[in-house]
Structure 1
């Protein structure tokens, strides 16, 4: 059975930063793959 798009995005796991591995505090479907701390460096 196909779930609603809202449920799909709610159930995505947190994104991890590609540099340090910490969870990213942005929406899971965003294009960024680095956290704010690593982006500033």
Structure 2
């Protein structure tokens, strides 16, 4: 997967943002009507 590097906060933030997007269903094929989102 993706390795987190303490010396690279931007990469860590990007991973967190991507993880949050997946959790909101934005990056998943199925819709997430309860959470909504820009998907």
- The reply to whether TM is greater than 0.5 is no
Q: Under TM normalisation by the shorter chain, which class is it? A: under 0.3
What TM-score do you get using the length of structure 2 for normalisation? Answer: 0.28
The one of the two structures with greater contact order (alpha-carbon pairs below 8 A, sep at least 6) is 1
TM-score (norm 1): 0.27
Larger helix proportion of the pair: 2
